[in-house]
Amino acid sequence: MSEIIATYHIKKQGDSQTLANKIAIGLTVGSWTDLTLEDQAHLKKYKGSVVEAVEIGENEHRIKIAYPEHNVTKDFSSILTTVFGKLSLDGKVKLLDLELHQDYVKHFKGPAFGIGGIRDVLKVYERPLVMSIFKGIIGRDVAFFKSQLYEQALSVDIIKDDEILYDVPELPFETRIQEGKKILEQVKEETGRNVLYAVNLSGPVFSLKEKAITAQKLGANALLFNVHAYGLDALKGLRELDLGIPILAHPALSGALCGSDDYGLDYGLLLSKLTRLAGADLILFPAPYGSVPLSTEDANRIVQYALEEQPYKKSLPVPSAGIHPGLVAQLIDDFGKDIVINAGGGVHGHPRGTVAGGRAFLEAIEVYYGRSGGQAYEEAVKLWGTS
Ligand code: 1AE
């Protein structure tokens, strides 16, 4: 019988084993000793069991529970409701990890492209990729959108919508895709480079599949998705459409779900392990030294889960938030070559504007690999420094 093993950190008065037994029984068969022998025999295979119950401090416990896999269905909502539904409301309990059996995991597709697929589209293999973000786009018109997209596309590999830009009358989703496609074709003609533009897939949850299909028909070549505002199963559903378009998972809202030491889920678990399984090709997360820093441990775990060997493809980790060219060396040192370096203000805030801002990141990568940089990088370092 395969099992889902959940690891918790719990701050609560009481003995670890008693707390663990209560969870194992309470979140599965409900009671055990009160059952008749006949019911026990029938319900044995549905009963959770304690794998570990350790007191790690005063009123502080690490508890691992194994849940029978057939108690849940093949979706995140059932897993999370079983292992952390009511329990998440029961005081200081943090879900640190979930171990899923390979027989179960095969019901989840994981990323469609993965690292290799994204690199094949862009034809960039030997360096980290560079992504930039639309900035100051709210309230703007199509002419502004086209001009900012064109400027970004001249130097970076991927451009993402601002995650707070939805399907608004000034800049409708369909217009952004159609006009964006033309700009990217123009850039391809002028520079020979392939560039991805991730349009923000937004709106009522039950319209998402239809909108994703429309996006594909209109020629979108990437989707941005605020997965944690919608839930992991929404991402899983989009991935299962097999549209042949990479999906970028934005971390918006995840601070509320993962930010506390005592409550919620581990950042690595939610943003990376589960989001990769759900089908994200790119996983955005706040870098440890940016404007909304995560801890180094959280960031490392996110990257580790995105890149570890699994029967499904790897996701590209995307350290973000407050990133500028002076941080490129640190990012590559810390997370390696298979990352996407992502910046908004660090591109558009360059003293000579957006095109030079994107170029400064590429020059910073050149400098990292021992080749000569250039004026744009030097200007960026003068402005932002190297830490
Ligand atoms: C953690 C996601 C980062 C993001 O979406 C964003 O907009 C960053 O902007 P900058 O680079 O901090 O200006």
Asked whether residue 101 falls in the same domain as residue 155, the answer is no
Q: 321 alpha carbon to ligand 1 midpoint, in Å?
A: 4
CATH for 203: 3.20.20.110
Least confident of 101-105, 209-213, 240-244, 350-354: 101-105
Q: Is the pTM of this model over 0.75?
A: yes
Asked whether residue 9 falls in the same domain as residue 139, the answer is no
Asked whether residue 91 falls in the same domain as residue 171, the answer is no
Q: 264 alpha carbon to ligand 1 midpoint, in Å?
A: 23
Q: Total domain count for the chain?
A: 2
Residue 33: pLDDT band with limits 50, 70, 90: confident
- Domain with 279 in it: 114-384
Give the mean pLDDT of the chain.
Answer: 97
Asked whether residue 155 falls in the same domain as residue 18, the answer is no
Instruction: Write down the pLDDT at residue 40.
Output: 85
Instruction: Write down the pLDDT at residue 336.
Output: 97
Residue with tokens 């989001």: 275
Asked whether residue 240 falls in the same domain as residue 366, the answer is yes
Asked whether residue 275 falls in the same domain as residue 130, the answer is yes
Residue with tokens 């709106």: 203
**Ligand 1 atom, smallest distance to 342 CA:** 11
Asked whether residue 251 falls in the same domain as residue 278, the answer is yes
Instruction: Write down the pLDDT at residue 373.
Output: 86
Asked whether residue 229 falls in the same domain as residue 338, the answer is yes
Residue 283 to residue 235: CA distance in whole angstroms: 12
Residue 236: pLDDT band with limits 50, 70, 90: very high
Q: What is the mean pLDDT of residues 126-152?
A: 97
Of 51, 60, 56, 58, the closest CA to residue 20 belongs to 51
Is the pLDDT reported for residue 1 higher than 80? no
Q: 333 alpha carbon to ligand 1 midpoint, in Å?
A: 21
Residue 30: what residue type?
G
Residue 347 to residue 345: CA distance in whole angstroms: 5
Q: What is the DSSP string of 20-58?
A: HHHHHHHTTTS-STTS-HHHHHHHGGG--EEEEEEEEET
347 close to ligand 1 (CB < 6 Angstrom):
no
Residue 294 CA from chain centroid, whole number: 14
Asked whether residue 167 falls in the same domain as residue 196, the answer is yes
Is the pLDDT reported for residue 290 higher than 90? no
Given ligand 1 and candidates 342, 354, 361, which is best to mutate, with the most ligand atoms within 8 Å of its CB?
342
246 close to ligand 1 (CB < 6 Angstrom):
no
Is the pLDDT reported for residue 358 higher than 90? yes
Q: What is the mean pLDDT of residues 345-365?
A: 98
Catalytic residue numbers, as ranges: 86
Asked whether residue 155 falls in the same domain as residue 54, the answer is no
